[in-house]
Structure 1
Amino acid sequence: MDDVIGRIPKQLFIDGKWQDSADGSTFGVDDPGNEQRLCEIADGQSADAEAAVEAAVTAQESWARTPPRERGEILRRAFELMTERADELALLMTLEMGKSLKESRAEVIYAAEFFRWFSEEAVRIDGRYSPNPAGGGRTIVTRQPVGPCLLVTPWNFPLAMGTRKIGPAVAAGCTMIVKPPQLTPLSMLNLAALLTEAGLPDGVLNVVSSTSATRIVNPVLGDARVRKMSFTGSTEVGRKLVEQCAPNLQRMSMELGGNAPFLVFADADLDAAVQGAVTAKMRNNGESCVAANRFHVAEPVAEEFTRRLTEKMAGLRIGHGTEEGVSVGPLISDGQRDKVIELVGDARDRGATATTGGEPLDGKGFFYRPTVLSGVPEGARILREEVFGPVAPITTFTDEDEAVALAGDTEFGLVGYLFTRDLDRAIRVGEALPTGMVGINTGLVSNPAAPFGGVKASGFGREGGHEGIDEYLDTKYLAVAVGAH
């Protein structure tokens, strides 16, 4: 483990060079599984952010002219390097974030797939040519890189949320300034080194770690030469960033909070529904914007579903992510664990019952037991707020209309899940749910080949799929006069 940490760059990455912060300051990165210090890394300042912008702006013109095939080949080499080093990348992620090694390996493979997908999309950036309907001219439509971008990534998926933004930016021909999360910055620093090894030119990717997001974001968004921002994080922060982008009218992609409903109809395959529930709830220790947050179950099967889910959740092994057989690691911080304790306490005070779990673990590390809450009343905060932890609150419904109404009773609209054997109902309810994504008889929707994103307070823009590269391209129309022969 010490060898892995020792090999990770610990400075800022600006214009192809590793360097200390402007004032030489550093901050610590800790292991949430034992609360031990892993290392110290550079704490970026506003001057460093400004230097990163200059590097990105300077590199933009030549990078935009780089042939799409070359850009794609860089991404392809990065994909291959990530695949070759999956075990080491997974261990680093587990140490800084806490998830089990099994989950970390799955994230590495998922993250690498964005590079492979967008390596193929780079050569498929298209346009069109057509005669004017009235004659006398031609219409040419072409697509060009939007320009330098600010990418702000979250702590819960420290590698995949980076590749999901960097992949399409590289493919489109955009340069980048990346602000990685304070809690889990090491995976991004390591990714910058890997992309350099894959052949990414100096200045195309710049990474500025910092204890202050404001210190980095403000000078970057204040520079009109930066033309786009992509952010993954809370809705509260997202709203503020939208305001900051307004003066310079920078394009935005906002992947914000979620409050995913999980609907189980009376005709559902309960074994599949329970397995889907564990997948949708417990991925990433429950610290995921697409985690199932509210379980609405048809009354006739609610008792049996609760019994089976309780049995599954109670059987999950909890411990440090590097331990063999562990499937549930720690939460990211004591503050996050306190939030889970608070929401569970509120539900129990209102009459909910914990059929398993319902408490933190004693000792080092920010652990909370996998929990199932039954009889959760309508007014419980956990039905309104994103719990971001291993807690499954269960309520019941009587018919389809009530299920859809309950599912949509939130400001968020990222993803919903539903389980039913009725194809008509699956399509009908899937189309009725006010979410950007729907999982039908599956608890896993993330897919590099599909558009990821939400509606309402869950944001706008899409990442992944054919749509993902559109966020980094401007459309240009050329009007061409063609005279008579």
Structure 2
Amino acid sequence: MSKYTGVNQQYIGGQWRKGTGKTEIDLTNPYTQESITKIQGAGTDDIDEAYKTAAEAQKNWAEVNAFERSRILEKAVQIMEERREEIVQLLIEDAGSTYIKANVEVDFCISITRHASTFPFEMGGIMVPSVVPEKQNNIYRKPLGVVGVIGPFNFPMYLAMRSVAPAIATGNAVVLKPDTQTAISGGTVIAKIFEEAGVPEGILNVVIPELDEVGDAFVEHEIPRMISFTGSTNAGKHIGEICGRMIKKSVLELGGNNPFIVLDDANIDRAIEGALFGKYMHSGQICMAINRIIVQKDVADEFTKRYVEAAKKIKVGDPNDKETLIGPLINQGAVERILGEIDKAKEEGAEVLLEGSVDGNVMTPYVLKGTNDMSTAKNEMFGPVVTIIPVESEEEALRVANDTEFGLSGSVHAGKYERGMKFAQRMETGMVHINDQSVNDEPLVAFGGEKNSGLGRFGGEWSLDEFTTFQWISVQEEKREYPLQYEQLEDEKKK
């Protein structure tokens, strides 16, 4: 398609060019399954050049006036606002996003970039008292240097932008590696935006390699002082191990198995609406999506019956339709994986309350009823499948909610605020939303998980801390008295 001409290339040192890798990457529309464009993949030489170019450019970028850095971020916001519909259409075609989800994603990108535009003004220093007489202690916030960012396919633009924008704003240079399935919406369109905004050459680079060809070269390169990764827990563990071995920082936002709890005094209408949106938005391909619905028995029958009936009415299909909530899964492999998990759950005794269907990469809602031990409850579905788990009591609901290796997001519906808050504070998860659903993100909050859901936090002051480091510089203003027998030492030297 002609509109992708130019951005279907690597972006290194401010230049658009073909990669030197051996693999030609074919980007396809997840809904139509038609080819969008082809990209000559990056090789290890491209990765090396991108990092070296970034390291050289960063030296000057860190010294650029804070107002100028902020202006470039603000210009990037303006570009996204002016070209919203174009970006929305790209997300629909490149990532299989529905119109609803694509607009949410653009909103997220605008919000995080707008907030990051304030970061250049937070890069000063502070003076703190010293225990040593006449000593001045200064603590300076400084950029890390070069940051490597690895993005996923599900919210490709935003989950890259939430690292790219803060990193650039704080004086770092970035090398971004998007998922090959969403290389444009998760990579090169971001480069294009910042290029138009006026970011200097080399400050943002995008490389699109085939993983089988380059292996761990992106993470193992000696230049980046930090790797920001969003993706699967297994991949995140591997990246974390490499970063630990090389003494470089890592921020990892990984998988989730997010519970949606309905206590016996909950408003059932609100709970059903929240559960539908939190489960089926973007076909459930969201790390924060609801995976398990845990309901107290006194309201379980009513909730379940009404939820199933409502799930049948959700708009499914063409992501261009503005009312569609469930569009395509990213590829056929995802469809087959999810169907396999459903078959396992059936064998394990799960009751199928709503049997979905598949058309190409589009899957209609599946609703199962079972226990926390069934495959669809233990594993992150990343698709339009949910398992309803009835429980006897509030304490059992809490135990079941916490009985997972993950701890990213969750939600609890309760009739009384105090009850919901008490329950939420005992949940072993980084984020909990009372009388809402689990898919939430805002620019000023601490976003991140516990347990196998990751390390570090994005958003607000937490992003500022993640993408910077600190240097202590002290000044001894008057002669300091040291506890040394200096005169005695001088006498011994003379002898």
Separation of aligned partners in 2, 1:87 and 1:282: 23
CA RMSD of aligned residues (A): 1.7
Give matches, 1:322-361, under 5 Å.
Answer: 322-361=320-359
Total equivalences in the alignment? 478
Q: Deviations over 1:194-217 (max 9, x none)?
A: 1100011100000001222761x6
Partner SS state of residue 65, structure 1: coil
Separation of aligned partners in 2, 1:421 and 1:378: 25
Aligned to 2:414, which of 420, 425, 441? 420
Partner SS state of residue 466, structure 1: helix
Any stretches of 5+ residues in structure 2 without a counterpart? 481-495
Q: Counterpart amino acid of 1:333?
A: N
Is it true that 1:456 corresponds to 2:455 in the alignment? no
Moved more, 217-226 or 86-95: 217-226
Kept after mapping to 2: 8 A contact 1:33/1:330: yes
Separation of aligned partners in 2, 1:301 and 1:126: 55
Separation of aligned partners in 1, 2:429 and 2:69: 34
Q: Deviations over 1:445-469 (max 9, x none)?
A: 2112211111111111111122112
Q: Deviations over 1:318-352 (max 9, x none)?
A: 11212353221011111111111111222222332
Q: Which residue of 2 aligns with 1:146?
A: 144
When residues 110 and 378 of structure 1 are mapped into structure 2, their CA distance, relative to the original with a 3 A threshold, is: closer
Is it true that 1:275 corresponds to 2:273 in the alignment? yes
Separation of aligned partners in 2, 1:357 and 1:8: 44
Kept after mapping to 2: 8 A contact 1:112/1:163: no
Aligned to 2:259, which of 239, 258, 261? 261
TM-score, normalized by length of structure 1?
0.95
Moved more, 120-129 or 188-197: 120-129
Separation of aligned partners in 2, 1:121 and 1:276: 34
Q: Which residue of 1 aligns with 2:19?
A: 21
Give matches, 1:54-65, under 5 Å.
Answer: 54-65=52-63
Kept after mapping to 1: 8 A contact 2:29/2:94: yes
Partner SS state of residue 116, structure 2: helix
Q: Which residue of 2 aligns with 1:371?
A: 366
Q: Deviations over 1:274-314 (max 9, x none)?
A: 11111211122100110011110010111111122112211
Give matches, 1:72-151, under 5 Å.
Answer: 72-151=70-149
Q: Counterpart amino acid of 1:21?
A: G
Separation of aligned partners in 2, 1:401 and 1:371: 28
Partner SS state of residue 314, structure 2: coil
Kept after mapping to 1: 8 A contact 2:300/2:390: yes
Kept after mapping to 1: 8 A contact 2:130/2:137: yes
Give matches, 1:156-167, under 5 Å.
Answer: 156-167=154-165
Separation of aligned partners in 2, 1:418 and 1:411: 19
Q: Which residue of 2 aligns with 1:387?
A: 381
Partner SS state of residue 246, structure 1: helix
When residues 213 and 254 of structure 1 are mapped into structure 2, their CA distance, relative to the original with a 3 A threshold, is: farther
Q: Deviations over 1:402-421 (max 9, x none)?
A: 11111110111111111112
Separation of aligned partners in 2, 1:141 and 1:34: 55
Separation of aligned partners in 1, 2:212 and 2:159: 17
Q: Counterpart amino acid of 1:47?
A: D
TM-score, normalized by length of structure 2?
0.93
Separation of aligned partners in 2, 1:258 and 1:214: 29
Q: Which residue of 2 aligns with 1:399?
A: 393
The Cα shift of 1:105 comes to 1.5
Q: Which residue of 2 aligns with 1:186?
A: 184
Separation of aligned partners in 1, 2:449 and 2:241: 19
When residues 322 and 428 of structure 1 are mapped into structure 2, their CA distance, relative to the original with a 3 A threshold, is: same
Moved more, 62-71 or 169-178: 62-71
Q: Deviations over 1:248-293 (max 9, x none)?
A: 2010100011100111101111111111111211122100110011
Q: Which residue of 2 aligns with 1:483?
A: 478
Aligned to 2:466, which of 468, 471, 476? 471
Any stretches of 5+ residues in structure 1 without a counterpart? none
Q: Counterpart amino acid of 2:141?
A: R
Give matches, 1:421-440, under 5 Å.
Answer: 421-440=415-434
Q: Deviations over 1:41-76 (max 9, x none)?
A: 121111110110111111111011112221111111
When residues 6 and 132 of structure 1 are mapped into structure 2, their CA distance, relative to the original with a 3 A threshold, is: closer
Moved more, 103-112 or 133-142: 133-142
Is it true that 1:171 corresponds to 2:169 in the alignment? yes
Partner SS state of residue 388, structure 2: strand
Task: Name the % identity.
Answer: 31
